[in-house]
Amino acid sequence: MRVKSQNGLIVMNRLGGVLAVTRAFGDHSLKDSGLIAVPHIVKYTLKPFDKFLVIASDGVWDELSDQDSINYCKDECTTKQIASQIVKSALSKGSKDNISTIVLRFHSGNSKF
């Protein structure tokens, strides 16, 4: 809605038919189409049952749902193993975009990091 209100064009779920996100640094040629560098921020208070945080680039989220990434978050795995599995899954599902993943573990009683 924000992009369209600025006369931007969304083609095949991409800004100007090119960029998969509408918030990014660079890509100056799309600034007049509604591209901004202002991040979307969500404040969330961690709960005692929260164990992991998955931070990933859009190439991961193009192919995986939130639940898909949650399914890889297992106590017996290291955060490196979880991140690697998420990246491999996005690749195997055909992602061609930037693929980076960081996994943080909260409230962990073991030493696997």
What confidence tens digit (pLDDT) does each residue in 11-48 have?
A: 888 888 877 777 777 777 778 888 888 877 889 998 88
Length of the chain: 113
Question: Angle at CA 21, nearest 5°, toward 38 and 5?
Answer: 70
The values of phi and psi at residue 54, to 5°, are -105, 120
Question: Which pair of structure tokens corresponds to residue 10?
Answer: 């969304």
Q: How far is CA 75 from the centre of its chain?
A: 22
Q: So what's the pLDDT on residue 113? A: 45
Tokens standing for 36?
């901004």
Rounded distance, CA 54 to CA 42, Å?
Answer: 14
